[in-house]
Structure 1
Amino acid sequence: GDEFSIVRLLSVIWPGVDKWRDTRFWRWRYKENPFGPPIVWLAEFKGEIIGHRAIVPVYMKIGGIEALVGLVADSGVHPGFRRIGVYRNLVSLAQKESAERGMKLTYGVYIPRHLKSYNRYERLGEVCSMTSLIKVIDWSQLLRKFSGKSLFLPSVPEHSNTENFNVFKVNRVDERFNILWKNVSPAFPIIVKRDMEYLRWRYFGLPTENYVLYAAEKSNKILGYCVLKERVIQPQVFSEDHSLLSRFLKEPINEGLIIDIFGCPNAVKVLLHKAEQHFKEKSVDVIHCRLSEKNPYLKIFTKLGYRTIPYTLHMIVSVAMNLQGKIMDEKKAFKEFLRLSRNPFFLKKQNWCLFFSDCDQV
């Protein structure tokens, strides 16, 4: 029953963000999640909500097991109540509950300057960075939007390589995506579970977004999929995602986002070609994807002309290991955290395979 007050607070913390214009996004993420009830802790002052800390339950493949974990999302404190310990208390309470609920770990994608609030609780800390990749579709159009002058540059030639795949738009996710997950997931040591149930909730259950999902198949077997959306970057409009870019713009940029991509390498290559074709038809200026820094798909993106461009803020992945029934500052729990923090499996950057969709921004 607090959804309206929560969304009102979040719209103050992140002004201008579309998803906080009403309660639909919050209800989808926290009330309609099929993987269990969320962890939500609120801070109040004189009957008004001034703080919000939330953890979204998801399943993650960790080595050879699939475990319940938590994605830290949509957490913050009203600007008028910061630096007085409100956020620290919310973090402690949420982390303790996540351990009691059996979540093996919690993770979040942060801007490094925000991590001071988390370091005390997250004994693993930073495990990897997120890499932003872009591919410009029309350089002449893009440079005009920065300079305000018309320029002519040869367009990037279009490559078409279907390798006998049938690529089609998905309107309904079926059991074949469970088979895809079962066949492809062993190649990824740590990855959020992408089965039929997850895909239906993540991409077809959200009323505020119009995601487009393409699949690549052979012999009626799904061998990969990608998820796309478009958004507009406005000139001089502050956004933590584009603050380094928008200040130099003369005109809005149409950006195509590859939200998620998963499958065997050949299918991923074909799907990237399809994504480029789709975005050209939508008059997109630049394609943007974000992957964990050692993601195995990075080589495929690079071969197809994507480049790492630091026009977005540096984002890192930080992880907390949870100990059921332990309070964060107990000596016994602290020693156990130190033991877990030395586990090389979690500290190897190449073991973490995360995508745009695994963050809480899109």
Structure 2
Amino acid sequence: MEIRDYKKGDEIAILSLFEKVFKVPMSLPYWQWRFENNPAGQYFIKLMWDGDSLVGHYAVSPVYLLINNQKCLTTLSMTTMTHPDYAGRGIFKDLAVAFYDQLENEKGVVAIWGYPNSNSHYGFIKNLGWKDLSVVHSLSMPTTSLSPKSSPNVTLVHKFTDKHVKQLSEFSQSFAITIDRDLTYLNWRYVQNPSKAYRIFEYANDKNEGFVVVKIHPSAIVPDTWEIYILELGINDISIFAELFEQIIAYYEKPISRINIWISLWDKRHIQLEKIGFAPFGKQTFLGARFEENTHALVGDFKNWYYSYGDSDVY
């Protein structure tokens, strides 16, 4: 068997292996968006072949983190796949060892991080030099106190501007580590994504302004209802929350049972969200990273991380 980097045209075999492993298809437009049109870099993909058969795959998505305001190239660990007929042969570990050496020593990647699921978490920590940073919880609020209602202060917009970048930075700049949510990143992540229906809602009146990025998903808790996920929270005054989300619920014209968010415990808005009814709820998620402690000790302290649902490829 042979390990090599992605070559043009390999995406056909990659998409075929994905469907074989996960029993659902990945669309070519999504693959191109994530791995070909990523503004931080192309084709961070390592493959294992047995002759003409693709039997192993590991892809990471390059992303710029601001670490103490220094722009650093990192990667979000993503799709790991082994052909079912080749399970138990250590293919993923072999791919990862070769890949990490290349990323760290040739491409200048300073950290490899992500949200491993329960199937891969043990292997990352035990065999691949990752360190646990935290278990990330969702805050969630039932919508029983909200009713669909139009508001003249809420507007649906279709792309980001520098104003949105500035509004987000008001919150993220107090953390030592955050994705560089510049204008290019925000539009790539939420506007150009071909497979997810994100919506950007702005709020503005004489006293307050801000925005949120949201999506909806069928609820696994309350049958025949939907839940709202807040991908980015660009509002400071949580007192406008009810007005904003009553308009959002009215927009979707679906039964919405809960609103969910990832937000750091050390974000000043966490306690404000608790006050209006948000509480830890649902499944928890591992956050881990591989990094050089001597030069990037900040990465190892979860208190330093500003994060949101949008940082994960799952959402």
- Using the TM superposition, give the Cα deviation of residue 157 of structure 1 relative to its aligned residue in structure 2, in angstroms: 4.8
Map of 2:216 onto structure 1: 230
Quote the Cα distance in structure 1 between the aligned partners of 2:190 and 2:208: 17
Alignment of 1:106 onto 2:78 = no
Quote the Cα distance in structure 1 between the aligned partners of 2:264 and 2:161: 31
2:289 to 298, 315, 319: 319
Where does 1:315-354 land on structure 2 (aligned, <5 Å)? 315-321=285-291, 337=292, 339=294, 343=297, 345-354=298-307
Quote the Cα distance in structure 1 between the aligned partners of 2:290 and 2:163: 33
- Using the TM superposition, give the Cα deviation of residue 15 of structure 1 relative to its aligned residue in structure 2, in angstroms: 2.2
Where does 1:1-362 land on structure 2 (aligned, <5 Å)? 1-16=9-24, 20-99=25-104, 100-120=106-126, 123=129, 125-137=131-143, 155-158=144-147, 166-217=153-204, 224-233=210-219, 251-263=223-235, 265-266=236-237, 270=240, 273-282=243-252, 283-291=254-262, 294-296=265-267, 297-310=269-282, 312=283, 314-321=284-291, 337=292, 339=294, 343=297, 345-362=298-315
- Using the TM superposition, give the Cα deviation of residue 72 of structure 1 relative to its aligned residue in structure 2, in angstroms: 0.7
The aligned amino acid for 2:19 is: S
The SS at the match of 1:168 is strand
- Using the TM superposition, give the Cα deviation of residue 280 of structure 1 relative to its aligned residue in structure 2, in angstroms: 4.8
Q: Is the 8 A contact 1:228 1:257 kept in 2?
A: yes
Q: 5+ residue gaps in structure 1? A: 138-154, 234-241, 322-336
The aligned amino acid for 2:21 is: I
The SS at the match of 1:309 is strand
Map of 2:4 onto structure 1: none
Quote the Cα distance in structure 2 between the aligned partners of 1:126 and 1:318: 4
- Using the TM superposition, give the Cα deviation of residue 305 of structure 1 relative to its aligned residue in structure 2, in angstroms: 1.3
- Using the TM superposition, give the Cα deviation of residue 204 of structure 1 relative to its aligned residue in structure 2, in angstroms: 0.9
Q: Deviations over 1:148-198 (max 9, x none)?
A: xxxxxxx425599x9xx9432222222323433554432222111111111
Map of 1:152 onto structure 2: none
Q: Is the 8 A contact 1:166 1:216 kept in 2?
A: yes
Q: Is the 8 A contact 1:254 1:284 kept in 2?
A: yes
Q: Deviations over 1:323-347 (max 9, x none)?
A: xxxxxxxxxxxxxx56468x3x333
- Between the two proteins, the alignment pairs up a number of residues equal to 303
Label 1:223 to 1:122 Cα distance change in 2 as closer, same or farther (>3 A). farther
Quote the Cα distance in structure 1 between the aligned partners of 2:74 and 2:243: 33
The SS at the match of 2:72 is strand
TM-score relative to the length of structure 2: 0.84
TM-score relative to the length of structure 1: 0.74
Q: Is the 8 A contact 1:159 1:273 kept in 2?
A: no
- Using the TM superposition, give the Cα deviation of residue 57 of structure 1 relative to its aligned residue in structure 2, in angstroms: 1.0
Percent identity, please.
Answer: 19
Root mean square deviation of aligned Cα: 2.9
The SS at the match of 1:94 is helix
Label 1:80 to 1:288 Cα distance change in 2 as closer, same or farther (>3 A). farther
Quote the Cα distance in structure 2 between the aligned partners of 1:279 and 1:2: 42
- Using the TM superposition, give the Cα deviation of residue 128 of structure 1 relative to its aligned residue in structure 2, in angstroms: 1.5
Q: Is the 8 A contact 2:18 2:26 kept in 1?
A: no
Q: Is the 8 A contact 1:41 1:90 kept in 2?
A: yes
The aligned amino acid for 2:273 is: F
